[in-house]
């Protein structure tokens, strides 16, 4: 029986970054949460993107997204406007970074508007934008099967009430370990996840950078390490690429059981591993499903201890 993937919709930022790492620098590096998510998810399912850019956004990036069959009807272009720009410097271990410049530009007044054809999209991912905008998108959507959401420490600090309102309507929350502790007020990740589940999300994915990620699904816990890599070129967008692989796989398979949520964690990790191997989305741009599956199988072999024996 042929697989018929369902569409997935992402609402988030589209940006142009300047990246400084200990070994290289890249100006005019296309990024943004919606771009990384869309590139990763496009290998599994049709993607619809809602965001905003100025007319300075590189046409080549739009062509690349279109080549990946990403529907860009929902991407607003502001004539004469400037695209959201971010500049950051990574530390030697690539786990931490400093923000040097942030220019919101057209993103500052972004008001997501879902085209009519997008409103019944069954899989919806609300990338890291203000909780009030995430709520507005949920009001426009018509009964999605699965709603995923990402957030950050800023919204936890200054918009907690709005964030609580949106969390009550979310199925999957992705956030990093520091954010999980901040949101929950706990000092232990397991207790933090349980406290966050009580706010609404049945599934909580805590991202731990080079240490992998943890899925809390109901009462179950699933831990996945990160894939060991010889070289990390640019960690920017790894979390959004993970979310794209995670949500894209679920949209492809259409099964939201615990077994497939676990598989989605691995596919998300695989796409994140490709992302960090290049600047921008270059590491994910020209993959094949065969290559993705081979890396999935390699990952599975690294964590397989089922044949272990004491005798």
List active site positions. Answer: 240
Q: How is residue 46 written in tokens?
A: 């049709």
Mapped onto helix, strand or coil, the DSSP state of residue 38 is: helix
Write the secondary structure of 75-138 as one string of H (helix), E (strand) and C (coil). Answer: EEEECCCCCEEEEEEECCCCCCEEEEEEECHHHHHCCCCCCHHHCCCCEEEECCCCHHHHHHHH
Please tell me the distance from the alpha carbon of residue 7 to that of residue 189, in angstroms, as a whole number.
32
Give the span between the Cα atoms of 141 and 126, in whole angstroms. Answer: 11
Shortest CA distance to 240 belongs to which of 216, 218, 278, 271? Answer: 271
* Closest listed residue to residue 180, CA positions, set 161, 153, 147, 159: 153
Contact call for residues 35 and 282 (beta carbons, < 8 A): no
The residue among 282, 291, 276 whose CA lies nearest residue 238 is 276
């Amino acid at each position: 029986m042929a697989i018929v993937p369902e569409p997935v919709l992402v609402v988030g930022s589209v940006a142009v970054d300047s990246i400084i790492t200990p070994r290289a620098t890249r100006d005019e590096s296309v990024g943004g949460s919606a771009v990384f998510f869309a590139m990763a998810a496009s290998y599994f399912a049709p993607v619809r993107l809602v965001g905003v850019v100025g007319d300075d956004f590189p046409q080549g990036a739009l062509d690349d997204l279109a080549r990946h069959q990403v529907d860009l009807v929902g991407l607003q272009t502001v004539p004469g406007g400037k695209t959201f720009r971010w500049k950051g410097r990574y530390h030697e271990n690539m786990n931490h970074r400093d923000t040097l410049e942030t220019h919101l530009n057209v993103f500052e007044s972004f008001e997501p508007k879902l085209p009519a054809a997008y409103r019944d999209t069954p899989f919806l991912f609300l990338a890291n934008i203000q909780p009030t905008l995430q709520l507005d998108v949920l009001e426009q959507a018509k009964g999605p099967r699965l709603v995923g959401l990402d957030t950050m420490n800023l919204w936890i600090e200054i918009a907690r009430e709005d964030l609580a309102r949106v969390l009550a309507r979310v199925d999957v929350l992705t956030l990093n370990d520091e954010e999980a502790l901040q949101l929950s007020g706990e000092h232990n990740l397991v207790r933090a996840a349980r406290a966050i589940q009580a706010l609404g999300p049945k599934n909580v994915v805590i991202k731990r950078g080079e240490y992998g990620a943890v899925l809390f699904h109901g009462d179950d816990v699933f831990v996945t390490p990160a894939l060991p890599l010889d070289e990390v070129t640019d960690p920017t967008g790894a979390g959004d690429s993970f979310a794209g692989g995670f949500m894209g796989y679920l949209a492809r398979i259409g099964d939201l059981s615990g077994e497939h949520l676990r598989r989605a964690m691995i596919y998300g990790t695989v796409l994140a591993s490709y992302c960090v191997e290049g600047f921008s989305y270059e590491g994910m741009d020209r993959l094949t499903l065969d290559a993705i599956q081979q890396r999935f199988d390699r990952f599975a072999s690294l964590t397989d201890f089922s044949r272990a024996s004491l005798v």
